[in-house]
Chains A and B, each alone.
Chain A
Amino acid sequence: MSVLIDKFDVFASGFWLTLQICFLAAIGALILGSVVAVLRISPVPPLRALGTAYVNTFRNLPLTIVMFFAAFGLPALGSNADFLRIPGLDIVFSRLGTDLPYFRFALIALVLYTAAFVCEALRSGVNAVPAGQAEAARSLGLTFIQNLRHVVLPQSWTASVVPLGSVIIAMIKNSALIGFFGVIGDLSQTADQLTSAGGEPFIPVAIGISIGYLIMTVPLGALLDRVERRQAVAR
C-alpha cells in the first residue's frame, strides 16, 4: 500500500485533471441540457422534434461511441475544437489551451452525452408541475418563455434537483473513459501509468483511484440527500 503515499502526487494530479474535466463538462451539460429541454417542451413542433431527436441520439448511443466520434470524427472534419481555447479559462484549466486537442474532444463528448440526460431530468421536473399552472399563465397572456421563467421552472426546480445530481454523479464516473481517447493523466489513466509503466501492484493502485472518485461523488450524493430531506420537510 506504500504506493498510495509514495505516488501521492501522481494520484493528486490525476484527481485534479478529472475534477477539471468534470467541472467543465457539468457546466456545459447543464447549459446545453437546459437548451434542449426548452426545445423539447416548446409549443413549436419543429423545435420539439429537434430536441427529441437530440435526446434520442445521445441518450441511446454508448458514450464510447460518442467519444470515438469526437476524437476521430472532429479531426476528420478538420476541427481541433479550438473554439474551446477560451482565453482566461485556459489559465485555470490548462488543458483547454494545449495544442493536443484530446482534452477538448473528450470534453465535447461528455457534454453532448450528458446534456441528453440533463434535459430529461429537467423535463421530469417540469412534468411534475400541475398542468393547470402553465394553463393559468398562458390564459393571462404570458409568453412561453415568461411562463417557463416565472411560473413553471421555479416550481419544477425542486423536483429536478435530485435526478440532476444523479446525472452529474454518473457523468463523473463516465469521465473514466477519457483516458482511452487520448487524454493523458486523468484519474483512471493514472492507474495505467502506475501499473504498466511504473510496475506498481495493481490492487493498491485501484484502491487509490477508487478513493479519488469517491472523494468527488460521495459528498455530492450526501448533498443531494440533504436537499431531498429538506424538500420532504417543506412538503
Chain B
Amino acid sequence: MTTSEPLIVLEAVNKWFGPLHVLDNVSLSVGRGEVVVVIGPSGSGKSTLCRTINRLEPITSGSITFDGQPLPAEGRALAKLRSEVGMVFQSFNLFAHKTILENVTLGPIKVRREKPAAARERGLALLDRVGIANQADKFPAQLSGGQQQRVAIARALAMQPKAMLFDEPTSALDPEMVGEVLDVMTSLAREGMTMVVVTHEMGFARHAANRVVFMADGQLVEDAPPTEFFANPRSERAKDFLSKILTH
C-alpha cells in the first residue's frame, strides 16, 4: 500500500493548551493511499491530532510534513496547503448562507480560480456521487444531518485533495444516518484516497482501515493493522477501552 515516501509525517509533535499536554511526543506517518483510523477515549487528543495536520491547531514543538514539505506558517503557502487537504468536521460546518451547490463550488472558484460553469458541473457530479444532487439548490439547514455531512464530504472532494481528514464525522448524527456517511467514506477509501479518520465507529475501523492508531492521554499508544489491534490489543489502556465499547 505504502509507496515511496509517506504523504503525512508527524515527528515528536507536542501541543500544550495552557497547562494541558494534549499531544505528548506523537510521531505518526501516513502513506499515500493509506487509511488510518484514530480511536481513543474522549480527551485523548485524537481530534487535536487530526486538526494539526492542516494547522487548524498550531503545534508547540516537533515537526509535521505534508507531501515532503514542512507545514508553512500563516499566509498564502498555508492556504495552498489547506486546499490540498480536505477536512470534514463533526458539526458539518456547511456555509449557512450559501446553497448546497454554492458550498461545493466556493473553494474551486475562489481558491483554484476555476470557471464557475466548470466548477458547477463538477460540483453537481460530486453531489450526485454522494447521493444528493436533487438538493443542490437548497440551503444547509433544510437538509438532514446525514445529508449535510455528505455535502461536506463533497465540498472537500471538490478541491481534489491529496488527503482527507475526518474529525469525528458521524458523532453528531442520528444513528440511522451514520450508515449513509460511512458508505461514502468506505467508497473513498476503496478508491485509494489517503485518509485520517478520527471516529468511534469500530465497524468502519475494522473493514476500511489499513491501520488503527489508539491514543490515550495525548500519547499514541498503539499503531497496528485493525485485525491485530482488535484481536490482540497490547496495552492495558487499549484493552480497557475496547472492553468498554465492545461489550454491548
Give chain A residues whose Cβ lies under 8 Å from the Cβ of B76. 143
Task: Tell yes or no: B12 within 8 A of A by CB.
Answer: no
Q: Among the listed stretches B82-90, B130-138, B197-205, which one makes contact with chain A, having 4 or more residues with CB under 8 Å of it?
A: B82-90
* CB under 8 Å from chain A, chain B span 44-76: 54, 56, 74, 76
Asked if B94 and A142 make an inter-chain contact with CB atoms under 8 angstroms apart, the answer reads: no
B186 contacts chain A at the CB level, 8 A cutoff: no
Q: A146-B110, A150-B106 are in contact. Are A133 and B54 (CB under 8 A)?
A: no
Q: How far is the CA of A138 from the CA of B89 in the complex (A)?
A: 12
| Interface residue from B74, B91, B96, B111 paired with A140 (Cβ < 8 Å) | B111
Minimum CB–CB distance from A231 to chain B (whole Å) comes to 13
Q: For chain B, residues 87 to 127, give those with C-beta under 8 angstroms from any C-beta of chain A.
A: 87, 89, 91, 93-97, 106-107, 110-111
Establish whether residues A155 and B97, one from each chain, have CB atoms under 8 Å apart when the complex forms.
yes
Which residues in A have their C-beta under 8 angstroms from that of B85?
139
A141 with B97: CB separation less than 8 A = no
Give the complex CA separation of A135 and B55 in angstroms.
Answer: 11
Of B56, B110, B159, which is in contact with the most chain A CB atoms at under 10 Å from its CB?
A: B110
Chief secondary structure at chain A's binding surface: helix
B76 closest partner in A (C-beta): A143
Taking a contact as CB atoms under 8 Å apart, the answer to whether A43 and B56 are in contact is no
A132 and B91 within 8 A (CB): yes
Check A135 against B93 for contact (C-beta < 8 Å): yes
Which size bracket describes the interface of A in this complex? Answer: 10 to 19
Report how many residues on chain B are interfacial, defined by Cβ distance under 8 Å.
28
Contact sample, A vs B, 27 pairs, CB 8 Å cutoff: A43-B74, A130-B93, A132-B91, A132-B93, A133-B95, A133-B96, A135-B56, A135-B89, A136-B95, A137-B95, A138-B82, A139-B82, A140-B106, A140-B156, A140-B159, A141-B81, A141-B82, A141-B84, A141-B107, A141-B159, A142-B106, A143-B79, A146-B110, A146-B111, A150-B106, A150-B110, A154-B97
B positions within 8 Å CB-CB of A: 54, 56, 74, 76, 79-87, 89, 91, 93-97, 106-107, 110-111, 152, 155-156, 159
- Asked if A151 is at the interface of the complex by the 8 Å CB criterion, the answer is yes
> What CA separation (Å) do A130 and B96 show in the bound complex?
10
Q: Mark A114-155, 1 if CB is under 8 A from B, else 0.
A: 000000000000000010110111111111001000110011
Set of chain A residues within 8 Å of B96, measured between Cβ atoms: 133, 155
Q: In the complex the two chains form, is A141's CB within 8 Å of B79's CB? A: yes
A77 at the interface (CB under 8 A from B): no
